[in-house]
Homo-oligomer: A and B are copies of this chain.
Amino acid sequence: MDTNGPDVPAFDVMQADCPSRVVLQRIGDKWTPLVFQALKDGPRRFSQVRAAVGQVTPKVLTQTLRTLERDGLVGRRVYAEVPPRVEYSLTGLGRTLLGPLDAVRAWAEANAGGILQARDAYDSRGTGDLP
């Protein structure tokens, strides 16, 4: 029998219009991976996230968090206090992305040096040694 029905579309990144590509877009977003790092140990307030990821403007950080919230990766909790407090946290879905994300992060940190060297080598080819 057919256990996966017609409503399990079998996403394929190689297909131009495949929704799975949005994930790559997210990861490529300038601040998304940093936000995940900031939230990986539990809920954090807006300002805490901001402090953790560096000098991102409030506008852009809000955009980033809203997008992640819409995608179901980040939860947003507002406390009716004054001064206002808003906490962000990874959802269950969001936490499952931590693994792949960390693999990429680890690779990046381990191999950034190699990339830099490759660039130097590439850029020095064809520079200066021809009359």
Contact = CB atoms under 8 A, between A and B. Distances in A.
A73 to B, nearest CB: 8
A9 B10 CA distance: 42
Max count, chain B CB within 10 A of own CB: residue among A14, A18, A108: A108
Contact of A111 (B8, B23, B69): B23
A103 B99 contact: yes
Contact of A28 (B11, B24, B37, B71): B24
Interface in A1-30: 8-16, 18-25, 27-29
Interface string A84-110: 000000000100110111011111111
Interface residues of A, number: 58
Tell me the number of copies of this protein: 2
Contacts of A12: 109
A116 interface: yes
A77 interface: no
A42 interface: no
Contacts of A21: 108
A118 B23 contact: no
A41 interface: no
A122 interface: yes
A122 B27 contact: no
Contacts of A118: 70-73, 93
